[in-house]
Amino acid sequence: MQRPVYLAVNKSEGMSHAIAAAEFHELALGEPLVISSAHGDGVRELMDLVLEDFPEEEEGNGVHHPKFAVIGRPNVGKSTLVNAILGEDRVIAFDHPGTTRDSIYIDFERDAQTYTIIDTAGVRRRGKVTEAIEKFSVIKTMKAIEDANVAVLVLDAQQDISEQDATIAGFALEAGRALVVAVNKWDNRTPSEKSTFDVKSRGKSISSTLPSFTISPP
């Protein structure tokens, strides 16, 4: 297959383009593009020309649009949050740990942009179930995180941050994913609990569990 060739004549600063290009015509590689990399002269024109024939990026089967995975322990409200974001009951939410069995990928549109939201099976606490089931839920969650750009870690406001929260949050951060921590079931807290709930101290408890976690100011 014939590849297009572009001829760039570099280090041309301070020279007339015609003179700089003159002797390179005889290479018969087309019109020489006179540039100065050090000064940036002609570089934009060169890039415009080189990129001219590239096709526009296509969405194809949805590979390129942003994806976010909703992760966390069983029963914290991941599926409920997914339904709330979608504005319809697309996934089953039920007051029983283990309702979602496998990751569910759902495409949706918001402001003319396509996104994929991934509802995941809750990550089981070690020792609560057989090791095989626990590993299965962790592996499925890790795969969803790898497939996503952003991980939304859902916590239950009435429970403390646990080892499995730290494990999957740590995995998301190490994988280079953006991490959002959502404290759900806020309505379940009594007014006095609400007034004593300090986002900063809770954030500190998250960051001490996860050394590489920094809190955005509220």
User: Site residues (CB under 6 A) for ligand GTP?
Assistant: 74-80, 93-95, 97-100, 121-122, 184-185, 187-188
Q: What is the DSSP letter of 23?
A: G
Nearby residues of 85 by Cβ (< 8 Å), 6 or more positions away: 108, 117
* C-beta of 48 vs 88, nearer to Mg ion: 88
Number of residues that bind Mg ion (CB under 5 A): 4
Give the residue at shortest CB distance from Mg ion.
100
Least distance CB 70 / ligand GTP (angstroms): 8
Contact status: 120 vs Mg ion (CB under 5 A): no
Least distance CB 130 / ligand GTP (angstroms): 17
Among ligand GTP, Mg ion, none, partner that 76 touches (CB below 5 to 8 angstroms by kind) = ligand GTP
Inter-residue contact 168 to 145 (CB < 8 Å): yes
Give, in order, the Cα–Cα distances in Å from 157 to each of 38, 127, 128, 154, 176: 56, 23, 21, 9, 26
Nearby residues of 86 by Cβ (< 8 Å), 6 or more positions away: 106, 108, 117
Contacts to Mg ion from residues 90-119, by CB under 5 A: 99-100
Q: Given the rule CB under 5 A, which of 26-34, 77-85, 103-111, 179-187 is the region that contacts Mg ion?
A: 77-85
* C-beta of 3 vs 96, nearer to Mg ion: 96
Q: How far apart are CA 121 and CA 100, in angstroms?
A: 5
Least distance CB 73 / ligand GTP (angstroms): 7
Least distance CB 151 / ligand GTP (angstroms): 14
Give the residue at shortest CB distance from ligand GTP.
122
* C-beta of 87 vs 211, nearer to ligand GTP: 87
Both tokens of residue 126? Answer: 């070690």
Neighbours of 172 (CB within 10 A): 26
Q: Which of 79, 103, 164, 184 binds Mg ion (CB under 5 A)?
A: 79
Q: How far apart are CA 124 and CA 130, in angstroms?
A: 10
Strand ranges of the sheet holding 67-72, from the earlier edge strand across to the other edge: 104-110, 113-119, 67-72, 150-156, 178-184
Judged by the rule CB under 5 A, the positions of this chain that interact with Mg ion are 78-79, 99-100
